[in-house]
A and B are shown apart, each in its own frame.
Chain A
Amino acid sequence: MKFILMFLLAAITGSSDLAAQQLNNNQTDAVKQLLTAIEQGMKAQMPDAPDAVAERPALLRRIPEYRTLESEIDALWIPAFRNLATVAPTETSQLILVQAAGNMNPENYVNFLNDIASRYEQRSISEALLNRAINPDGKLEYILADNYQNRAVIEFCQRAKRIFANNPQMISMFDAILSGETEKGIADMRRGGGLNLPEIKLAQRGPLLSHTPNVSPLPAATSSPVPANTPSPTAAAPAVETEAPSHTFGIVVGVILVLLVIGGVFAWMRRRG
């Protein structure tokens, strides 16, 4: 009896993993198709310099597929970055993804930054891309400064300081963010009419970075944008909360099925007895 139940549980768990994998594959394909269409749209806008379009979100938004990517980015960024080498093999296509992330749900953004930082440390993305992620061109533009007292933001800024240990300007930037100096300047701009971007406050949470790292192993990078002596990430592993629902759903379905089977077995045994 015990073995039968274990077999059933294994089968159910396996099928939910398969379903999750299928979902992941579908999302990966969806991102790939969107990026292909966006790059075609960029070429149509500027045949001689399509890459320049990727630097201007206002231009990207003229492409319907980019607007779709932007609206779906909260669900798509994890599968997209997990399969980055396949989905977005060029820096331009990676930049498109990062640009779209500039308007993601603010609650996902710090997780996204940690993921990007890990990829930078693993030499799979360029410093320019990390810079763009840290300085998004959209509603999240000043989210780090606006949330300088948020635990997750503090942890990310500390991590970024370690990543940019050899860059005094970046260190001073993150110091200014952490001290609240940047927030004060931004608040002055808002009051004085120099900035119309509304403030976004993140919910204060527990220690996000205690979560299990969820960044998948990355394929070997073809080129190395990071100096060999870049400090390796130890303390700061990314927390990808948005990945939890597919696993949770699978587990819940599995447990319900197991309980139904157990209930059925008990009912059958009582009837016989």
Chain B
Amino acid sequence: MAIETLLLVPVDINVWKAGTAGPPDPTQPDHGVIAQKGDALTICIDGTSQNPPSIAPNQPVWKISQMQSDGSYSSTWQQIGTGPRFDYTTTTSGVFELEAVFFGDDAHASKYLRKADETGQGQTVSYNKKGTPDAFGVTDTAIQIAIKHSAGINLGSAAYDVGTNHPPSFPPGSDKCNLFVADKCNDAGAIVPWINGLNPFKPYPPTANQWAGTDPKNIPNWTLLPANALPQPGFVVSDPNSLGSGHCGVLDYDGWGIGAGVTYHVSKRYPFFPESRQRQYSP
């Protein structure tokens, strides 16, 4: 049987930051592959094997597709390398899907897939399941990675539930998505000024509508990106709501927003969409 026939069966693909032990544990809350632009990623077929299967040395051809501003992925796949295992030095920031193409057969390319259902969300969701396409993230700055980690380790946490009390400004019954964003960014060292409040002893962090720019109050050190900006992990993303207070979160490695909702614990339920706007920490 020809090797081309054998390779019609999808192969397992792993990605991890070059120089680290191997792929991240997908069952941990803050998993996912993330790197700063210029860092190298190790890309490999056949699991974490140090000795990938012996096939033609120029196979497969690795291609990536970047997440667009509306959350969809580009239909253009860009070639980034060849061979069963190679180190890819990242050159562009963003969120990327990855595929391995054998012998030019794009129709049967093997995709980089999620190894486990999304975890740490407190509740099961019907998406981001094991076997659906996964992605890796590349950031402009190191602090974006820190922001992403700071939010990610809180997945599943009840600390920002609507019923919680965060004196003096957030009594039980108040939405706390903006408090979550401010706290997690501050924890990561990205200062979010508490710009609201008449009483200096009772300030409030920026609201979701302010993060989204529909409420024009300035948020110092946080640049409001154009509506067509390509998503990156560690951006603050916000969904304005003219009929309500909106919703904000932090973009994870795969472009999904991590946020504190009113119905669930801190969770990853927010795909990126055109109504949303992003901000980047740029002191």
The chain A residues found within 8 Å of chain B, CB to CB, are: 45-46, 48-49, 51-53, 55-59, 62, 92, 102-103, 128, 131-132, 135-139, 141-142, 144-145, 167, 169-170, 172-173, 175-177, 181-182, 184-186, 188-189, 191-197
Contacts and interface: CB of A to CB of B under 8 A. Distances in A.
Contacts of B79: none
A141 B159 CA distance: 20
A51 B127 CA distance: 8
A100 B203 CA distance: 32
Contacts of A188: 169, 197-199, 202
B77 interface: no
Contact of A196 (B204, B215, B270, B271): B215
Contact of B172 (A51, A141, A181, A193): A181
23 contacts: A51-B126, A52-B125, A52-B271, A55-B270, A56-B270, A59-B273, A132-B262, A137-B241, A138-B243, A139-B243, A139-B244, A169-B163, A172-B165, A182-B171, A184-B171, A185-B171, A185-B173, A188-B169, A189-B169, A192-B196, A193-B195, A193-B217, A197-B244
Contact of A194 (B173, B196, B240, B244): B196
Contact of B173 (A52, A102, A103, A182): A182
A139 B243 CA distance: 5
A182 B275 contact: no
A176 B171 contact: yes
Interface string B159-175: 00111110001111111
A46 B241 contact: no
Interface residues of B, number: 49
A57 B163 contact: no
Interface string B163-206: 11100011111110000000000000000000111110011100
B66 interface: no
Interface of B: 71, 123, 125-128, 132-133, 158, 161-165, 169-175, 195-199, 202-204, 207, 209, 215, 217, 239-241, 243-245, 247, 261-264, 269-271, 273, 275
Contacts of A45: 273
Main secondary structure on B side of the interface with A: loop
A255 to B, nearest CB: 42
Nearest to B215: A196
Tell me whether chain A's interface is mostly helix, strand or loop, or mixed. helix
Contacts of A51: 125-127
Given A182-B174, A188-B202, A189-B174, A52 B270 contact: yes
Contacts of B203: 192
A185 B169 contact: yes
A194 B245 CA distance: 9
B94 to A, nearest CB: 18
A135 B245 CA distance: 12
Contact of A172 (B132, B169, B172, B240): B172
A141 B172 CA distance: 13
Given A193-B196, A195-B207, A196-B209, A59 B244 contact: no
